[in-house]
Amino acid sequence: MLTDRICLGSNMIPIGDFLLDLLGTILDYWDSYYMNVIKNFSPLLKDKEFIEDLPVVIRVRKFDESAAKEFSAAVSKAQNTGQPILPVIIDSYGGQVYSLMSMIADIRSSRITVATIVQGKAMSCGALLFSFGAEGHRYMDPDATLMIHDVSSMNWGKVEEVKASAEETERLNQKVYKMMAKNCGHHEDYFLDLIHEKGHADWFLEADECLKHNLANHMHIPELKIEAKVKFDFK
């Protein structure tokens, strides 16, 4: 029987999973520590839950099945709030590629613009997810770091099963980096060629380097303002 795990990032090692779990939950709809959200609601709005739930802001720390499920729920919720943009804040060491693919599908199906924001780090799956922010809506803190590297697989089993897993790993590696290149307006092998030139080692990029490769569009954290007014007119 083949045991297989295809990952991007340090949490392909069991201790990495443990450490990432200690960092907290994958999704926070809103945390003022990470992005400035200014709310201006009419005092006539009495529904406290309505006010507190707006806007939906997704924070991504891990890439696993539970994370992908929560991500999908948050994207779905954002479609019905009336907000014109969905901020996705990334601070992650990476994780499982199939979970990343699920999140990518949710972003692609979103009816509202998705803005991706890196604070701290976006490594492996985190860097790839970052590239799926809409063009002109990819933000990095000036001190944040991206890291790009090949897809990895941890597996054992029969020879043919290991070969099949290696082929799948290579397929995913080609797929995700061609998608990243397209998102950034480059030819499809742009990032694959750069990874090869760097000897397939971990490639760390600062914010200004990300601007050069059109991974990032802005070197600052955006501010989100929300205003809701209620007016009664009795004649």
Amino acid at 186: H
Q: How confident is the model at residue 27 (pLDDT cuts 50, 70, 90)?
A: very low
Q: Tell me the three state secondary structure of residue 94.
A: strand
The whole-number average pLDDT for the span 105-129 is 97
Rounded-to-integer distance, Cα 170 and Cα 160, Å: 15
Q: Quickly tell me which residue has 């002109």 as its tokens.
A: 136
**Residue-level pLDDT at 8:** 54
Place of tokens 């290991």: 162
Q: What percent of the chain has pLDDT over 90?
A: 61
Average pLDDT value over all residues in the chain: 82
* Token pair belonging to 161: 């099963």
Instruction: Give the span between the Cα atoms of 96 and 99, in whole angstroms.
Output: 6
Residue boundaries of the structural domains of the chain = 3-228
Are the CB atoms for 97 and 62 separated by under 8 Å? no
The answer, yes or no, to whether residue 26 has pLDDT greater than 60, is no
Cα–Cα separations (whole angstroms), residue 160 to 2, 17, 24, 117 = 10, 28, 39, 41
Q: What is the dihedral of CA 141, 181, 77, 11, to 10 degrees?
A: -70
Whether the predicted pLDDT of 66 surpasses 70: yes
CATH topology for 3-228? 2-enoyl-CoA Hydratase; Chain A, domain 1 (3.90.226)
Write out the two tokens for 140: 């990095």
List of residues 6+ apart from 208 with CB closer than 8 A = 219
Task: Kindly indicate the confidence band of residue 34, based on its pLDDT and cuts at 50, 70 and 90.
Answer: low
The model's pLDDT over 69-88, given as tens digits with 9 standing for 90+, comes to 999 999 999 998 888 999 99
Q: Packing angle between helix 159-183 and helix 97-109, nearest 10 degrees?
A: 30
Q: pTM (2 decimals)?
A: 0.79
